[in-house]
Structure 1
Amino acid sequence: MLRVAIAALFGALSLTACAQQPSAPAAKSTAAAPAAAGDADQRVRAALQQLDPNFKPDFIGAAPFPGFREVLVGGQVLYVSDDGRYLMQSQPYDIQNKAPVSSQGLLSYRRKLLDGVPHNERIVFAAPNAKYTVSVFTDIECGYCRKLHQDIAELNRNGITVEYLAFPRMGLGSQDYTDMISVWCAADRKQALTAAKTGKAVPPKNCTNPVAMQYKLGQQMGVNGTPAIFAADGTQLGGYLPPAQLKAALERVSAGGSR
């Protein structure tokens, strides 16, 4: 529901902007006032609650650029000025390092969430000599998820271990969700996942499974499409990337180029 509220908020702002008369004088820009971190966090929290009392941020911390706080609410990343006046929703890009950037605080928050998923609840395709590990929220039906899975052997050869988490993009209660439960409950989950991603029928199974929990975790982390690839430090690398590009992105993250 918070995602809907945020989308509605930005939609309303866009409509308001369109309705403004061109002859109206532009307001003078006022720089966000510098503030102590604790005071800024409180102002940002209060400002968001003025917009919607249901806004309860999961994380507030320093943005990767001065004058703003980085906020995670309902899985969405927002940026609010330290004085609580300005809000924007956009992925900052580091021109110098030529890469998207997130704050250390947000990366730590995402990393903590990912670290909370037990290894035995993931479907792991391990590289023999792993240099990197990625967590991938996946669906068994989406085309790019299947394309990424076709690259597994090449990714493993490049030293990249792929650990899958379930994200049935059609939602809980869908046939997609039911089929993913069957995959996670299969005696050989790797084989079942590979078969499902090639379009084969999934033999129905049921058991105690983490599919719903992983789906909700993905929403917490801002996943809104699959595949969603995260590096070990919490950096979101985006959707599908060919093996060479994924390896290059991981090398940049390892060298600190994403921050």
Structure 2
Amino acid sequence: MKRILFAVLGAISLSACAQAPQGAAAAAKTDPAKADAAQPAVPTGNAPKVAAGSADARAVEAVRTLNPKVDIDKVGPAPMPGFREAVVGGQVVYVSDDGRYLFLPGSGGALFDTKAKRNVMEDTLAGMRRDLLKTIPASERIVFAPPNPKHTVTIFTDVECGYCRKLHSEIAEYNRQGIAVEYLAFPRMGIGSEDYKKMVSVWCATDRRKALTDAKSDHGAVSSKQCKNSVEQQYEVGQRAGLTGTPMILNVDGVQLGGYVPPAQLREALDKLAAESKTAAKPAAAVATPVGGL
């Protein structure tokens, strides 16, 4: 499935509450200093000064393809062969020497095909997420839906996250936009935390919808309850799906649409994905598939 390029380079971070760090691996970094020493990086700025036709020039062109307005601070050799390293708006990116692929490291990561203007990693991740979501029964989701929804999204949520609360405060507007929301639990502070206990209480409540709304209100009150529940399973599915913060919004195909996304903007994104999916299903010779963004 083709992936619309929702975010331009340097705007990959989502409006979401971060998950608690998981061990020493969260602090691990790779030091490219030795590679830089081999050949000084070329300062570029808004008017890159690189040799025409060089790998550096192709790297600059690749970055400009995704975002023509972004500042490029430098470009030079990468720690691995076949790539150039660029610092773009304070963020390190890697571009293949032919300029075709741009890799954005860090939390979540992304590998862009600059010609197709899509995140090729998302194709694999979306299919995996779609299969993972199938493991959670419909009965274990907390659903807020209009009578005849145009779109359905799955949202991993947390009762303590400010962005999750903001999203839920607008749940009626999401429904008015024709969007059904199916909530899954992701207590971002981890299993056994107070956050986790609150979410267990929500999933054990007689009226889960009311309990979730109450838990996300300013007073955050929810009656403590225990029962057989799937909160831990949902948390594990979220981790396997690559969740790093809440909320995490997925469409029916497993494509991640962001963290907090305003109702009208989310409807627009879902409409574009649906239209693109229909276009991709037609014979390639008959249709030229447009590439767009929000």
Tell me: CA distance 1:111–1:190, structure 2 relative to 1, closer, same or farther (3 Å): same
Indicate whether 1:242 and 2:262 are aligned: yes
Report the Cα distance in structure 1 between the residues aligned to 2:193 and 2:267, rounded to whole angstroms: 34
Aligned residue in 2 for 1:18: 33
CA-CA distance at 1:255 after TM superposition: 1.9
Contact preservation (8 Å) 2:153, 2:180: yes
Tell me: CA distance 1:97–1:196, structure 2 relative to 1, closer, same or farther (3 Å): farther
Aligned residue in 1 for 2:187: 168
The higher relative CO (CA closer than 8 Å, separation ≥ 6) is in: 2
**Superimposed CA distance per residue, residues 217-244 of structure 1 (whole angstroms, 9 cap, x where no aligned partner):** 0000010100010011000111001001
Contact preservation (8 Å) 1:97, 1:258: no
Query: TM-score, with normalisation over the residues of structure 2?
Result: 0.60
Instruction: Report the AA paired with residue 183 of structure 1.
Output: V
Query: TM-score, with normalisation over the residues of structure 1?
Result: 0.68
Contact preservation (8 Å) 1:102, 1:258: no
Tell me: CA distance 1:6–1:146, structure 2 relative to 1, closer, same or farther (3 Å): closer
Query: Which has more helix, going by share of residues?
Result: 1
Indicate whether 1:202 and 2:222 are aligned: yes
Instruction: Report the AA paired with residue 250 of structure 1.
Output: L
Report the Cα distance in structure 1 between the residues aligned to 2:196 and 2:262, rounded to whole angstroms: 27
CA-CA distance at 1:7 after TM superposition: 5.5
Seq. identity, %: 52
The correspondence of residues 120-159 of structure 1 with structure 2, limited to 5 A, is 120-159=139-178
Structure 1: state its 5+ residue gaps: 30-66, 68-78, 82-86
Structure 2: state its 5+ residue gaps: 1-20, 41-53, 56-81, 83-93, 97-102, 277-290
Tell me: CA distance 1:237–1:103, structure 2 relative to 1, closer, same or farther (3 Å): closer
Aligned residue in 2 for 1:221: 241
Contact preservation (8 Å) 1:134, 1:230: yes
Q: How many residues align?
A: 202
Instruction: Report the AA paired with residue 192 of structure 1.
Output: A
Report the Cα distance in structure 2 between the residues aligned to 1:258 and 1:216, rounded to whole angstroms: 33
CA RMSD in angstroms comes to 3.5
Structure 2 counterpart SS, 1:255: helix
